[in-house]
Structure 1
Amino acid sequence: MTRALLSALTFFFLFVANTHADNGKQERDLYQDLETFANVLTLIQQYYVDEVDSGKVINGAINGMLGSLDPHSAYMTAEDFKALEEETSGSFTGIGIEISIRDGVLTAVTPIEGTPADRQGIRPGDQIVRINGELTKTMTLMEAVKKLRGEVGTKVTITVHRPEWKEPRDFTLTREAIPLVSVNSMTLEPGFGYLRISNFQTSTTRDVLDALNVLGKKHPLRGLILDLRNNPGGLLDQAVKVADIFLDKGVIVSTKGRYKEEQMIFEAHPDGTHNDYPLVVLVNSGSASGSEIVAGALQDHKRAIILGTTTFGKGSVQTVLPLPEGAGLRLTTAKYYTPNGLSIQATGIKPDMVVPLNPASLDKTNPSAPPQRNIREKDLPNHLKNETVRPSAGSSGEKDPANQEASFEQVDEIQQTSKRLEQDNQLRTALIILRSLHLTDQQRNPRKDDN
């Protein structure tokens, strides 16, 4: 363990020295700092009151070094690296919550829909002060992730603090296999579809295309609601490809870093499809990174109306650099910019129409309490600054059992849709806008086929 961590630390210093040194003096200073570190480590091993686990000390040094940069750079052990690959491939085992460090406190960014954390009522902004009785104050982000994950069926108790509560509360959750179902869809009304992307993983673009195909089978789409609320991001290439589905030309996003290899421009391509129906995109403070790329591109090209509340504001790109013995370094290497050339780092995407969260989303145990203020990128310590600032009728007679079952499913779907619209103020408003846009389009183009 010690050898692996030392080689990781040495690799990092050598990498920085060889690629980022502007002159000989800087390089000499860097090697002097590395020598100082080695001397301190030697003195700790020789004179500290208790025997020292060198691996633990070096691990803490690496995490402290990366933590001084920004909230998203991190050292990953071989185990962490493997977990990251599993997550982007579509599943992991745990309680289903996206977490970050805010003001030195482990904080929930957003629970994943349908997971134990979501069902137990964990909310964005909740402070997780203990995991299984152990204080989280001194835990790194990766250490906390490890403790929250575990084998299916095992339990973990988290102690949660909310500003409106007098005392923290314990939640005991049973770990599950968390399938990261990236895309869900349904028909709200004939011709008006709803498509939710919960994260961007390897299959997201394909799943979106499949969902659009299904939505358009019964009735040609006259409007679509794209729900990116509480979408923490994921794979950059998938976010770009999803935006490309709704755009025929122009820049989707550009990235800028210190060096030439980080200067990239991603553009839309015509694919022969006609996804030119009205589009409303739902966002909130839990919409981050990849979801902000999609929303920003569609907003700048005036392809969609952005509705909801200001997004998280994570406008940085992380590159995973492999280290010896299977470990990895997740390092912020660039910032991304919307088609208009603006960074959303720490400012987020401002909606075209600000629609607040539902009153029903308030804490039911204390209805008079003010709405919870969700955390955003600008609240994280050491965040990077923004230099730019901005139903079909059945036949008569005896029904076939299969058709009868389909009818029952259709009725259930209608009931579920009605319930969802009743409870979701932002979704309901988006549907009203889509109807209005469709009527306006029909008035301008009376010959347009709407069947």
Structure 2
Amino acid sequence: MKKLLLASSLALLLTQSVFAKEEVSEKTRFESLSKLTKVIGTVEKYYVDDIELEEIVNKSLKGLMQELDAHSSFLDAKSSKEMSIQTKGEFGGLGITVGMRDGALTVISPIDDTPAFEAGIKASDIILKIDDKSTLNMTLDEAVSLMRGKPKTDILLTVVRKGENKPVKITITRDIIKIQSVFSKTFEKEDLLYLRVTSFDRKVVEGLEKAIKDNPKVKGLVLDLRNNPGGLLSQAIGVVDLFVDEGVIVSQKGRKAEDEEKFEASVSNTISRLPMVVLVNGGSASASEIVSGALQDHKRAIVIGEKTFGKGSVQAILPITEDRTETIKLTIAKYYLPSGRTIQAVGVTPDILAYAGKATQDESSEFKIKEADLKKHLESELEKVDEKVKKEEENKKDKKIITSEDVLNDNQLNTSVGILKSLIIINK
């Protein structure tokens, strides 16, 4: 009987404790919300300039989201509309993807064949000024809004670049940005296929699948994700699924353990088991890191290049008004690779480190005497060489062929070709 009474007393105490905690929690919530309301009311009443309540609330929301992390933000009606325009794949601007790194507005990557790319903007450039406006304390959305604009209008970016002693000023002429996300080329003299993905829009999986099926005789693949800022998670998962038979591709974990979601490969979606390498650099972010990291964890590809950007968080666009014109972009989870490692602020470390620039060549080769320099060389053989040189010149003009010269001008690509050829020999 005593044990029963003791158990009942303990149950009563626990129940009272839970109710007490709930009461304290509710009281704290009420006090916090009252504090916020009081501050907004005080600003509305005493601030030096006359500001409408709606504007005060909007500024409060922007400040709140900005303090959470670099990727969360409040999008008013104008900003929401701009984001909608951007996701359609065609907009007026520079062709540049930016993010916040250590509080500084940083270039994640310029998009291929856009005004920013042509002007020489590089991944990891820190933007100090947009025209005459300092980016200090500027939000990401404000910066993006300033850089967008009417085509054929100029903008001046002042950037800090590694290796430069002073800030670099770059004038860029805005243009309509049309993003072609997938390019494919074959290599001169090699049975290899080069696949370039510039961003993960809705047509990436479809584009890669077509390119691979259109080149059934190739023996190896180079997947180039350099300066790819990311995009749709579904496309990143789909790309990995083209090359991996089974297993986890990526998982995302929210605040609660039960929020974890895993995405797995299916053998029915696999279209290629050819040896492959993946090229990455500091401009490879988000979806690019998922693809390169997953292929690396599954030992399906050799990753070559430089350490990636390190953006491994998941954002959701959530409406906060009934007409959905105003939204918040909120970080709701983090990505984790098949091995369980995180990408956030860490990035993907390549299996083989290779820096950008030209490949090392034997400069003395031009001074060496060759067979063709001798008086009695075989003319018929020389004619064959001449035909070969002529063919190489024709290949240089073909934008769908990567020439030997192209490879030598790109050290990372040159390294990837060498590694891929070794993989092909090993797998024979």
- TM-score normalised per structure 1: 0.77
Larger Rg over CA atoms: 2
Residue 206 of structure 2 corresponds to residue 206 of structure 1: yes
1:35–1:308: structure 2 CA closer, same or farther, 3 Å change rule?
same
- Structure 2: 5+ residue stretches without partners: 1-20, 360-392
Distance apart, 1:424 and its partner CA: 0.8
Number of equivalences: 372
CA contact (8 A) 1:89 1:201 kept: no
Partner of 1:42: 41
Superposed counterparts of 1:294-373, under 5 Å: 294-324=291-321, 325=323, 326-358=325-357
Superposed counterparts of 1:152-231, under 5 Å: 152-162=151-161, 164-189=163-188, 190-216=190-216, 220-231=217-228
SS at match of 2:171: strand
Distance apart, 1:353 and its partner CA: 1.1
Partner of 2:283: 286
Distance apart, 1:27 and its partner CA: 3.7
Partner of 1:79: 78
Superposed counterparts of 1:259-270, under 5 Å: 259=256, 262-270=259-267
CA contact (8 A) 2:109 2:284 kept: no
CA contact (8 A) 2:357 2:410 kept: yes
SS at match of 2:272: coil
Distance apart, 1:294 and its partner CA: 0.9
In 1, Cα distance between the equivalents of 2:85 and 2:176?
A: 11
1:226–1:34: structure 2 CA closer, same or farther, 3 Å change rule?
same
1:240–1:409: structure 2 CA closer, same or farther, 3 Å change rule?
same
In 1, Cα distance between the equivalents of 2:119 and 2:101?
A: 22
Distance apart, 1:274 and its partner CA: 4.7
Distance apart, 1:56 and its partner CA: 3.9
SS at match of 1:246: coil
Distance apart, 1:83 and its partner CA: 2.6
Distance apart, 1:171 and its partner CA: 2.2
Partner of 1:141: 140
CA contact (8 A) 2:230 2:284 kept: yes
1:327–1:166: structure 2 CA closer, same or farther, 3 Å change rule?
same
Q: One-letter code of the match for 1:433?
A: I
Q: One-letter code of the match for 1:269?
A: S
Partner of 1:104: 103
Q: One-letter code of the match for 2:332?
A: T
In 2, Cα distance between the equivalents of 1:413 and 1:81?
A: 38
Distance apart, 1:144 and its partner CA: 1.0
In 2, Cα distance between the equivalents of 1:355 and 1:113?
A: 21
1:278–1:416: structure 2 CA closer, same or farther, 3 Å change rule?
closer
More displaced 10-residue stretch of structure 1: 309-318 or 165-174: 165-174
- Aligned-pair Cα RMSD in Å: 2.3
Distance apart, 1:156 and its partner CA: 1.8
Residue 114 of structure 2 corresponds to residue 115 of structure 1: yes
In 2, Cα distance between the equivalents of 1:109 and 1:433?
A: 27
Distance apart, 1:359 and its partner CA: 6.3
1:171–1:274: structure 2 CA closer, same or farther, 3 Å change rule?
closer
Residue 236 of structure 2 corresponds to residue 250 of structure 1: no
More displaced 10-residue stretch of structure 1: 302-311 or 266-275: 266-275
Q: One-letter code of the match for 1:193?
A: L
Distance apart, 1:344 and its partner CA: 2.1
1:239–1:414: structure 2 CA closer, same or farther, 3 Å change rule?
closer
1:418–1:60: structure 2 CA closer, same or farther, 3 Å change rule?
farther
1:249–1:32: structure 2 CA closer, same or farther, 3 Å change rule?
same
SS at match of 2:427: helix
- Structure 1: 5+ residue stretches without partners: 1-21, 361-406, 443-451
- TM-score normalised per structure 2: 0.81
In 1, Cα distance between the equivalents of 2:79 and 2:215?
A: 38
CA contact (8 A) 2:156 2:172 kept: yes
In 2, Cα distance between the equivalents of 1:39 and 1:353?
A: 57
More displaced 10-residue stretch of structure 1: 232-241 or 183-192: 183-192
